[in-house]
Every structure is written in C-alpha cells, then in structure tokens.
C-alpha cells in the first residue's frame, strides 16, 4: 500500500459532509525511549517501538478552513508561511491525501512552545491537523485511526493523539495498519519536564535525513533495536513501580545512545552545541552532589530535564531560564 491507498482504506466507509471550518488541539510529546530509524520511509513505519510523555497543555492549536482559492494558505503563530518553505511543502503533501474535491485550505496554527528552537516540532502540528480534519469532514474516526493518519505527517505525531505516557507499537504489517500509538493508563502527577532552550542559529538537519544517514552508515545502529527492546521493558516496569531513578536513568541513557548512533554515522551528525555539552556536564555534576535530575535530547541542541516536583525549587535555582511543565 502507498500513502494514498492507506488513507482511502481508512476513510472507505466514511461520509463526506464537510463543515466550513474546524479546530483542534494536540499536545507535543517528548520521547523517553526514542524512535530513530524507519523500515518504510514512505509510510513512516519505524524500526522499533518507542515511548513518550505528552506535555499536557503545551502543543498546537490548529484552525482549518476550506477556502475558495487555487492554493492553500498557512499561518504559523499569525505569520504567513512562504508556500515554498520546506515546512509548507510537507503540509501540502500531507493535505494532498485528503483533498477529495480538490479543495484548498487556510490553516492557522498557534503553538505555545518555542517553534524556532525546534521544540514545537511537527509532532503536535500534524496531530492537531489530523484531529481538525476529522472534525472538518465529520469522519468520526477512532483514536487508533487518527494515530495512523497523524503518523503519515510525521512519525512522532502518532503519539500526540494522546495525553500522558504513550507507547507507539511499530507493527509488523507492510501496509502500516498496525503501527499506531497506545496510551498507558499509569499517571505520575509528581513528574516534571523542564525545557532548556539553547539558541540554535544553525539550520539543523531534518530528523528524516538524519535517520536515513544513520541507518545507511552507522555500524553502531545494528545494536539500537536491541537496546530499545531492553529499555522499553525496563522503563515500563519503572513507570508501574514509580521508580524515578530507574525511569530517568533509562531515558537519559536511551537518548545518549541514540545520539551515539548519529555520531557514528558518516558524515557524522551532532545536534549538540557547545552549550548543550556544558549543560550535560552541569547536570552530571549536580547529580553527583545529590540532585536527582536527568535529561533527554532530540534532533536539536536543546535539553529537556526530567525530575520530580519536590526538586523543582532547586532546579529553578540552578537553571533560572527553565520552563517547567507538569505532564499529569
């Protein structure tokens, strides 16, 4: 199946009763056990499962409108996007899957997380857009179907359909119908995620290209699926038993291992900047002194701190610029 066939299959028995407008919100999510590598690039089918936590009210609000025009219009945080930009082209390609009567759309997305710093990312954007399309066309799809459609926009978007801890099962079918996210019922109200934004002026390599380059050239990547399988079991147990040290340690170790596969790619991929590694050393030093803080890092230079509410005040003292989010 290709993308179009997959969408047609999911929407096969749906009515076509478009409203004029619709809107939806989706939270952004931070992977604790990372998704790194696709087994099918066209359908965004991953090599491994992954596990994330959604960031509650932090994410994207998307408003969609069918317009009488020969082209789409995209606005991100009230700023009109150039239709030739790489982000617009990705949006357009995703929307092309749904234009049943060749209609065009005006899409206004507002995020409450810093987009320029690469944190908003595509995850909440494509999830919010999928939810908005579902309302626009009155499809009444279930969460599993929405997760599959969001995945076609960006892999990690399939996890942003849910709040809390979310497990993306990779699936085994080549048609992509069994690769979607599942929410975990466990909650962890004391858990905090802190955003440490490092100004990133250099244009980062997209996760799509970075994954491709890693899979093609890194010998270390061969070990990655084995580590993910181990880390997923271990982190799941730590969530069930609320063992914070174990939970946060596995997250940090998993993130660093993902970055190690990139560093062993050729040409090498290094998302960390000088400030990133300075912060890592600071975190490790504070940990030696007894503060229970850990970090995770995605396809950018920023770090996300992982800690418990009881340590919030100390964390703020050491990182005054931090933005603290409580996922539960």
Binding site for ligand PMV (CB under 6 A): 31, 34-35, 50, 121-122, 154-156, 207-208, 298-299
User: Considering all CA atoms of the chain, what is the largest pairwise distance in Å, rounded to the nearest integer?
Assistant: 62
Closer residue to ligand PMV (CB): 270 or 286: 270
Indicate the length of the chain as a whole number: 328
Closer residue to ligand PMV (CB): 167 or 319: 167
Closer residue to ligand PMV (CB): 136 or 195: 195
Positive or negative: CA dihedral 214, 273, 155, 223 = positive
Residue the block writes with tokens 């002026």 = 201
Residue 59 C-beta: closest distance to ligand PMV, Å: 14
Bridge pairing between strands 294-297 and 303-308: antiparallel
The candidate with the shortest Cα–Cα distance to 33, out of 180, 230, 323, is 230
Closer residue to ligand PMV (CB): 155 or 171: 155
Classify residue 80 by its DSSP letter. Answer: E
Closer residue to ligand PMV (CB): 122 or 200: 122
Preceding amide of 267 cis, omega within 30: yes
Residue 183 C-beta: closest distance to ligand PMV, Å: 16
Closer residue to ligand PMV (CB): 50 or 54: 50
Cα distance between residue 100 and residue 224, in whole Å: 40
Cα distance between residue 227 and residue 261, in whole Å: 12
Residue 52 C-beta: closest distance to ligand PMV, Å: 6
Residue 109 C-beta: closest distance to ligand PMV, Å: 16
Cα distance between residue 93 and residue 183, in whole Å: 28
Residue 210 C-beta: closest distance to ligand PMV, Å: 8
Classify residue 145 by its DSSP letter. Answer: H
Residue 213 C-beta: closest distance to ligand PMV, Å: 13
């Amino acid at each position: 199946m290709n993308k179009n066939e997959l969408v047609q299959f999911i929407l096969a028995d749906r009515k076509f009763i478009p409203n004029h407008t619709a809107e939806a919100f989706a939270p952004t999510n931070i992977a604790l056990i990372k998704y790194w590598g696709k087994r099918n690039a066209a359908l965004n089918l991953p090599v491994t499962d992954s596990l994330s936590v959604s960031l509650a009210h932090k994410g994207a609000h998307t408003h969609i409108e069918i317009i009488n025009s020969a082209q789409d219009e995209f606005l991100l945080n009230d700023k009109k996007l150039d239709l030739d930009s790489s982000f617009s082209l990705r949006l357009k390609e995703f929307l092309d899957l749904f234009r049943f009567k060749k209609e065009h759309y005006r899409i206004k997305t507002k995020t409450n997380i810093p987009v320029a710093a690469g944190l908003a990312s595509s995850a909440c954007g494509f999830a919010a857009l999928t939810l908005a399309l579902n309302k626009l066309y009155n499809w009444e799809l279930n969460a599993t179907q929405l997760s599959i459609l969001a995945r076609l926009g960006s892999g990690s978007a399939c996890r942003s359909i849910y709040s809390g801890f979310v497990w993306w099962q990779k699936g085994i079918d080549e048609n992509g119908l069994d690769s979607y996210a599942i929410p975990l019922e466990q909650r962890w109200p004391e858990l905090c995620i802190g955003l440490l934004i490092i100004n990133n002026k250099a244009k980062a390599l997209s996760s799509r290209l970075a994954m491709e380059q890693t899979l093609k050239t890194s010998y270390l990547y061969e070990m990655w699926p084995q580590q993910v399988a181990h880390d997923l079991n271990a982190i799941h147990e730590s969530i069930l038993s609320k063992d914070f040290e174990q939970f946060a340690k596995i997250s940090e170790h998993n993130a660093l291992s993902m970055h190690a596969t990139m560093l062993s790619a050729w040409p090498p991929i290094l998302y960390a900047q000088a400030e990133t590694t300075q912060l890592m050393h600071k975190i490790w030093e504070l940990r030696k002194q007894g503060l229970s803080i850990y970090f995770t890092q995605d396809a950018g230079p920023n770090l996300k701190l992982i800690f418990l509410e009881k340590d919030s005040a100390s964390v703020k003292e050491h990182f005054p610029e931090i933005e603290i989010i409580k996922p539960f």
